[in-house]
Structure 1
Amino acid sequence: MVGLVVFDAMVKVYDLGFSECLRVVVFHGERELSTNQIIDHLGIHSAKQQLGKTHVAQKHNFILPVSECEFNITTAIEDIGHSSPLTPGHRPPRCTGAAIQVAIALLEGSSVPTGSRIMVFTSGPATMGPGIVVSQDLNQSIRTHRDINGGHAPFYNKSCEYYKKISEKLTDISMVLDLFACSLDQVGVTEMRPPVERSGGFMMLAESFESDQFKKCVRHIFSRDEQGFLNMCFDATIEIITTKDVKICGAIGPCVSLKKKNGSVSEMEIGEGGTNTWKLGTITDKTCIAFFFQVSEEQKAQPGTAFFIQFITKYRHGNMGVRKRVTSAARRWVSAGAPEIAAGFDQETAAAVMARLAVHETQKNFPREVVRWLDKELISFASKFGDYIHEDPSSFRLSSNFSLYPQFMYHLRRSQFIDVFNSSPDETAFFQLMLNREGVVGSLIMIQPTLFQYSFDGPPIPVLLDVCSLSPDVILLFDSYFYVVIHYGSKIAQWKKMGYDKDPNHESFRKLLEAPAIEAEQLVAQRIPVPKLVKCEQHSSQARFLLAKLNPSATHKSSYVDGSEVIMTDDVSLQVFLEHLQELAVQG
């Protein structure tokens, strides 16, 4: 079943069952109405479900099966246009917040709250009504990170409060909010982040609705399983049961705490805490949530004894059947300092979890403070698990199970999740939202991107994420999850311009150009949201997507050979970072 709500200065709800002409119910975009007021204006009333009777959705003309309204909804979409002419020097009137409120009320009044999602398609920021992001006057620029941190974003706090209420409403009635923002400017993703993230909704940032990026994402959402049902699962809950020696601290991911406390819930809260049960508006086979536990001080664990953690996941499948899955994990306690601790350490997972914790910290502290917190935690980690002679940095060693972890933390400190310089608030909100729901492999690519080298010397090989990997006679394939970059060395680019790839005598060169292009296309096709594909030449402006992530082992301040690549930055290199870490860790 589908409905259509269109908004500019007004919110228009289309009557899809009225075939004689386009019939709409109009709401003023400046007004914030209650759910009951909207339902009354629409003339629909929710039928109460009686105990023991099967729930049947009330049918009316605002929400109909696609088969019954395909012509009307197509006609309505083609009819979309501005209700009033645009004023020069002003942004278009856009009441996004009011439109979302009307859509929620429409679904709630239709008695179909379970298994429903609101998909918002917008090409600009809200300029009026509840949830306003910026005024219509183009002389007033949209807020930046500095404006938000300095308290100079006049609409920010009020809009955030409005969308937090929307988020709570979506949780109560098990709805999902998706956001498709296609614009060259910001659209207010920062303010709208809570309802999208907490409901588990889909978010996509693109430049145009005509892009393949947008079309692939929409097709993905409406994909079907082998039985023909939509690959959508709704109204999910996750309950955790533990033995007495383990306490539940919380969770970070696309979930909401239901505040159900019992004896296994810790007083220390991390993320969505204070509960042993969480709610998810939707769940997929890619959903990833980080749960945090604490060793109970009341129950002294005996080495060698077992403890258990059980996850009970319940959700409504696309065929509207309810499914429950129970997953139990058993582990054994060991004494402090036991070799099993080091042997069982997963540094990739630890890096992904620390990234989520760091993003959580950015909601409360400035980036510089979050970097200090990360450094403090890393020094403590190195001091505890490193092998060294006291106050002798040259003796410091980390075993293979720990050796990559400091490198991950170095790249996390410099990532767009913490260092928001050169990112808009909307981009930062999108990046952090995606990190908080991605699995370990995807999270690691976001933190420390992959870099492959293609050359005439042999098959593609992974190379260091370092400026020394740049060379004029190689092609680099860079994957940072959000961007896939094909970087042509200066000689390769010159040969390409001279058309050597079209010469039959240079078949090997043609194959060299094709190999990274094919691999890049596969990466783009497999990933949702679709990453942006960038093809650039060495020393070109778009090479910045790669240079910004490379380890600056050679800078304009260091001694280097003429002709070698350098990065103009004041950031310390990975080698200097590790040297400082060793000096601080061996102090005990």
Structure 2
Amino acid sequence: MATFPEYIAQNEERDGVRFSWNVWPSSRLEATRMVVPVAALFTPLKERTDLPPIQYEPVLCSRATCRAVLNPLCQVDYRAKLWACNFCYQRNQFPPSYAGISEVNQPAELLPLFSTIEYVVQRGPQMPLVFLYVVDTCMEDEDLQALKESLQMSLSLLPPTALVGLITFGRMVQVHELGCEGISKSYVFRGTKDLNAKQLQEMLGLTKPSAAQGRGPQAAPQQSFNRFLQPVQKIDMNLTDLLGSYHCAHWASPCPSPWVLLVFFYPQCTFPNTGARIMTFIGGPATQGPGMVVGDELKTPIRSWHDIEKDNAKFMKKATKHYESLANRASSNGHIIDIYACALDQTGLLEMKCCTNYTGGYMVMADSFNTSLFKQTFQRVFTKDVQGSFKMAFAATLEVKTSREIKVSGAIGPCVSLNAKGPCVSENEIGTGGTCQWKVCGLDPSTTLALYFEVVNQHNAPIPQGGRGAIQFVTQYQHSSGQRRIRVTTTARNWADAQTQIQSIAASFDQEAAAILMARLAVYRAETEEGPDVLRWLDRQLIRLVGEHTCRVSATIDLNRKRLIIVFNNSPDESSYYRHHFNRQDLTQALIMIQPVLYAYSFNGPPEPVLLDSSSILPDRILLMDTFFQILIYHGETVAQWRKAGYQDMPEYENFKHLLQAPVDDAQELLHTRFPMPRYIDTEHGGSQARFLLSKVNPSQTHNNMYTWGQESGAPILTDDVSLQVFMDHLKKLAVSSAA
């Protein structure tokens, strides 16, 4: 019998699922007392090397309100060739192709090993991938040159059949016609005008032919659209030359909103529900048009949190509404919007965040297009798997099916609701709720959704001993090869009576998953509520949880939560950027964001993980800190002095040279695999960038108590924040008093 940690790890590896509780309370009343709801972190495209796609389509339950997929939890009558759905108990006949089924000859979908299985949809044409580059030309020459090189590099990574389009924008917006031989042709629009879809389609010649024109020109809109989207193999050289010929548009106030022209791309006249990536490269804030976030005059700074609180951000509401309408249009058509914003000041990510958050696109923020942070991150977008396919999926839908005792309350992550009502939809909404289906336009192997459930079984209707609650996740998506695929994950957990089996429920608690699920809820609330109110709510939940259960609860839920909830010391764009990544990354990466990882290197032995505490900062140590967004190497006071004296260059101190090199090698490994690439910081005791470390560690030693403890025990932190020990002492007192 596996222990709960082994069981949890096994389920995550096989199915990409982590539940807050792995034994579920059997009634609604008991579930509400659990404080942390029954919820799951689900990674739809969890990488599996041992999961070859099956070349036939899934068998579905015949009941119209169910349509669950045949899975290992179903009861099968091999003699009568019938199977009973484990969600609605409907008895279904196997299709003729299953005539040879028997106890010893079972299809893959009935084997417990394949609780996650992937099918290839055979019907329908294979659609090409579409990449639309939307490029800001209002930036420094050096920046623009670096961006052009990155774009030319990306063309060499695309499959030859992929369709590519180009829009550039400065004061004017240019839609480039790529189908012209030997001549550069583009349609130019004023960026200040907000044109509707119909006007743009007429101007670009993308309107559908009328019935009076006869049946023949049915392909006309497709042909006219081909002027703007061409296969890479046809226009690789032309597009490379076109990108190379672009120069910086030196305007005093850069970039009107480019988004006014993206509507030409939508499927009234193009590729309905086809995977498409709209990659937008922004070098500054929009100063004109419906999406403007700051005025033309340089003396007026872009909005700050203070301006937003005082309702003094005059462009914010209109711009946010504009970008939301574009994001809704893109998500309804299955198109992904990526934003690569590279500038020293804010670019308007706060207003534009819905474009990436609704469509599952990437948001990348850097100081310049000429940094390795942008260049390597952009290159990693086109990473391929062992089969040579891109690690990205398009136009996905996720459907959740549940057994009768449990309903789905909602989802938090890069998705939008498909407003699909059904018997498994809860009235109690959490996040994006009121539905059992969501659109996730862009997926990659780390994209993770938080799904929240409600136990609806009544207290007076006990579930039979040994009963199990089941949940099925059905993800339909367009694979980067052009195939439509369906990945089905079916999982179940035991029910338990909290009156008699509370120890079993408590032992099944997954505190890492619970910390991330509660933190996602807090971040979701922080979008509409004041930060201090959200922190108070989080603290109350933690007090109730510790008071209700004897299970050990880590304070990861509290440490370093401030970056995600409290906006002090972060610009509005930075907060949007941090929250975007927290709401889409998998559990391991999200935990690092909440509680950074700290490793110590010294002459005392091999590298070891140490507490994220000021007591870990010692003079003879080198520290490596991973906050997800930053990789920092910190040299203690003595080590820094040795390094300045050049000991590492002397042959007799070769071991010191190895000590200096060890954290650098480990940091490089992280820098080469993380998406987006983190900022790399090399600092030392007393260095200006040491603040990045000092702001993250727990201040167990401050200027208030440093003389009490003596200076040998670590570095004092100049802060009035309470230490974790003080927080935990108060938590214990409050938990005991509330439990009493």
TM-score by length of 2: 0.73
**What aligned pairs does 1:267-282 form with structure 2 within 5 A after superposition?**
267-282=427-442
- Check if 1:411 corresponds to 2:411: no
Task: Please give the per-residue CA displacement for 1:432-458, whole angstroms capped at 9, x wherever unaligned.
Answer: 010001111111111011111000111
Aligned mates of 1:80, 1:32 — CA distance in 2: 25
- Check if 1:175 corresponds to 2:335: yes
Aligned to 1:391: none
SS at match of 1:26: strand
Task: Please give the per-residue CA displacement for 1:326-362, whole angstroms capped at 9, x wherever unaligned.
Answer: 2111122101152111110010111111110110010
**What aligned pairs does 1:121-140 form with structure 2 within 5 A after superposition?**
121-140=281-300
The structural deviation recorded for 1:366 is 0.7
The structural deviation recorded for 1:23 is 1.5
Task: Please give the per-residue CA displacement for 1:223-271, whole angstroms capped at 9, x wherever unaligned.
Answer: 3344444333111111111111101100001111111111211111111
- Check if 1:302 corresponds to 2:450: no
**What aligned pairs does 1:11-90 form with structure 2 within 5 A after superposition?**
11-45=173-207, 58=223, 60-82=226-248, 85-87=250-252
SS at match of 1:581: helix
Q: Which amino acid aligns with 1:411?
A: L
The structural deviation recorded for 1:303 is 5.5
Task: Please give the per-residue CA displacement for 1:474-493, whole angstroms capped at 9, x wherever unaligned.
Answer: 10000111111000011111
Structure 2: gaps spanning 5 or more residues: 1-162
Rate the CA distance shift 1:227–1:439 in 2: closer, same or farther, 3 A: closer
Aligned to 1:221: 381
Aligned mates of 1:417, 1:477 — CA distance in 2: 22
Match of 1:378 among 542, 545, 548: 542
Aligned mates of 1:285, 1:46 — CA distance in 2: 38
SS at match of 1:13: strand
Aligned to 2:124: none
Aligned to 1:579: 729
Aligned to 1:389: none
Aligned to 2:507: 343
Aligned mates of 1:344, 1:255 — CA distance in 2: 29
Aligned to 2:610: 463
Aligned mates of 2:597, 2:414 — CA distance in 1: 26
SS at match of 1:103: helix
The 8 Å contact of residues 189 and 426 in structure 1, kept in 2 or not, is answered as: yes
SS at match of 1:170: helix
Aligned mates of 1:60, 1:276 — CA distance in 2: 37
Q: Which amino acid aligns with 2:198?
A: N
Aligned to 1:440: 587
Task: Please give the per-residue CA displacement for 1:65-115, whole angstroms capped at 9, x wherever unaligned.
Answer: 1121122222222233355x534xxx32x123xx22313413536512511
Q: Which structure is richer in relative contact order (CA contacts within 8 A, separation 6 or more)? A: 2
Rate the CA distance shift 1:110–1:218 in 2: closer, same or farther, 3 A: farther
Q: Which amino acid aligns with 2:270?
A: S
SS at match of 1:238: strand
SS at match of 1:266: coil
Q: Which amino acid aligns with 1:254?
A: P
Match of 2:451 among 291, 297, 303: 291
Match of 1:425 among 572, 582, 585: 572
Aligned to 1:106: 265
Aligned to 1:392: none
Aligned to 1:248: 408
Rate the CA distance shift 1:47–1:243 in 2: closer, same or farther, 3 A: farther
**What aligned pairs does 1:324-339 form with structure 2 within 5 A after superposition?**
324-337=486-499, 338-339=502-503
Aligned mates of 1:42, 1:428 — CA distance in 2: 38
The number of equivalent residue pairs is 561
Match of 2:619 among 472, 476, 484: 472
The structural deviation recorded for 1:319 is 1.6
Aligned mates of 1:454, 1:54 — CA distance in 2: 65
Q: Which amino acid aligns with 1:576?
A: V
- Check if 1:363 corresponds to 2:527: yes
Q: Which amino acid aligns with 1:10?
A: M
Aligned to 1:526: 673
Rate the CA distance shift 1:301–1:3 in 2: closer, same or farther, 3 A: farther
Aligned to 1:510: 657
Q: Which amino acid aligns with 1:182?
A: C
Q: Tell which deviates more after alignment, 137-146 or 10-19.
A: 10-19
SS at match of 1:267: coil
Aligned mates of 1:487, 1:282 — CA distance in 2: 37
Structure 1: gaps spanning 5 or more residues: 387-398
The 8 Å contact of residues 258 and 278 in structure 1, kept in 2 or not, is answered as: yes
Q: Which amino acid aligns with 1:577?
A: F
SS at match of 2:346: coil
Q: Which amino acid aligns with 2:634?
A: H
Aligned to 1:394: none
The 8 Å contact of residues 234 and 282 in structure 1, kept in 2 or not, is answered as: yes
Q: Which amino acid aligns with 1:373?
A: W
Aligned to 1:561: 710
Q: Tell which deviates more after alignment, 480-489 or 327-336.
A: 327-336
Rate the CA distance shift 1:260–1:374 in 2: closer, same or farther, 3 A: same
Aligned to 2:598: 451
Task: Please give the per-residue CA displacement for 1:250-298, whole angstroms capped at 9, x wherever unaligned.
Answer: 0001111111111211111111100011111022221110100001055
The structural deviation recorded for 1:499 is 1.1
The 8 Å contact of residues 277 and 335 in structure 2, kept in 1 or not, is answered as: yes
Aligned to 2:144: none
Aligned mates of 2:259, 2:176 — CA distance in 1: 15
The structural deviation recorded for 1:494 is 1.2
Rate the CA distance shift 1:264–1:298 in 2: closer, same or farther, 3 A: farther
Aligned mates of 1:510, 1:291 — CA distance in 2: 49
Match of 1:192 among 327, 352, 360: 352
Aligned mates of 2:371, 2:560 — CA distance in 1: 30
The structural deviation recorded for 1:19 is 3.4
- Check if 1:312 corresponds to 2:474: yes
Aligned to 1:95: 256
Q: Which amino acid aligns with 2:719?
A: T
Q: Tell which deviates more after alignment, 572-581 or 141-150.
A: 141-150
Aligned mates of 1:503, 1:301 — CA distance in 2: 75
SS at match of 1:192: helix
SS at match of 1:30: coil
Aligned mates of 1:33, 1:86 — CA distance in 2: 23
Rate the CA distance shift 1:55–1:481 in 2: closer, same or farther, 3 A: farther
Aligned mates of 1:47, 1:529 — CA distance in 2: 44
Aligned mates of 2:725, 2:678 — CA distance in 1: 30
Match of 1:354 among 513, 518, 539: 518
- Check if 1:3 corresponds to 2:165: yes
Q: Which amino acid aligns with 2:203?
A: H
The 8 Å contact of residues 393 and 444 in structure 2, kept in 1 or not, is answered as: yes
SS at match of 2:496: coil
Q: Which amino acid aligns with 1:101?
A: V
The structural deviation recorded for 1:545 is 0.7
Aligned mates of 2:221, 2:168 — CA distance in 1: 27
SS at match of 1:515: helix
Q: Which amino acid aligns with 2:725?
A: Q
Aligned mates of 2:322, 2:445 — CA distance in 1: 31
